[in-house]
Amino acid sequence: MNALLESLEPKSIWSYFLKLSEIPRGSKVEAAAAAWVADQAKALGCDVERDEVGNVIIRKKASPGREGHPTTCLQAHVDMVCEKNEETVHDFAKDPIKVRRVGDELWATGTTLGADNGIGVAAALAVLASKDIAHGPIEALITIDEETGLTGANGLQPGRLKSKFLLNLDSEEEGFLTIGCAGGEDTIVTRKLTRSAVPAGQRAFRLKVFGLKGGHSGIDIHAGRGNAIRILAQVLGAMKPTFDFGLAAIKGGNKRNAIPREASAYILLDPAQEQAFREALGAHEAHWRAALGAHDPGLHLALEAGEATQLMSGADADALIRLLLALPHGVEAMSPDINGLVQTSTNMGVIDTRENEVEVNLLTRSSINASRTALSERIAATCALGGFESHVTGGYPGWKPEPKASLVQIVQDANQKTFGKPLEIMAIHAGLECGLIGEKYAAMEMVSFGPSMWDVHTPDEHVSVPSVGNFWKLLVAVLEAV
Which residue positions in the chain have pLDDT lower than 70? 1
Q: Is the dihedral of CA 187, 110, 354, 31 positive or negative?
A: negative
Question: Of residues 79, 139, 316, 455, which has the active-site annotation?
Answer: 79
Pairwise CA distance, residues 434 & 431, whole Å: 8
Give the phi and the psi of residue 270 in degrees, each rounded to 5: -65, 125
Between CA 466 and CA 464 the distance in angstroms is 6
CATH architecture entry for 185-396 = 2-Layer Sandwich (3.30)
The answer to whether the Cα torsion of 92, 27, 121, 398 is positive or negative is: positive
Predicted confidence (pLDDT) per residue in 5-21, tens digit: 999 999 999 999 999 99
pLDDT score at 316: 98
Alpha-carbon distance 267 to 220, whole Å?
31
Q: Would you state the pLDDT for residue 1?
A: 56
Whether 2-182+398-481 shares its CATH topology with 185-396 is answered no
The rounded distance, in Å, linking the Cα atoms of 482 and 109 is 39
Residue 10: asked if its preceding bond is cis (omega within 30°), the reply is yes
Catalytic residue (choose from 30, 139, 145, 146):
146
Beta-carbon contacts of residue 400 (< 8 Å; ≥ 6 apart): 180, 438
Active-site annotation holds for 146: yes
| Catalytic site includes residue 377 | no
Q: Do 63 and 135 meet the contact criterion of CB atoms below 8 Å apart?
A: yes
Burial of 337 (0-12, 13-18, 19+ CB in 10 A): exposed
Q: What is the pLDDT of residue 148?
A: 87
CA-based nearest residue to 212, from 226, 233, 222, 229: 226
Query: In CATH, what number does 2-182+398-481 get?
Result: 3.40.630.10
d(CA 120, CA 388): 41
Residue 231 class from Cβ within 10 Å (0-12 exposed, 13-18 middle, 19+ buried)? buried
Sequence ranges of the domains in the chain: 2-182+398-481, 185-396
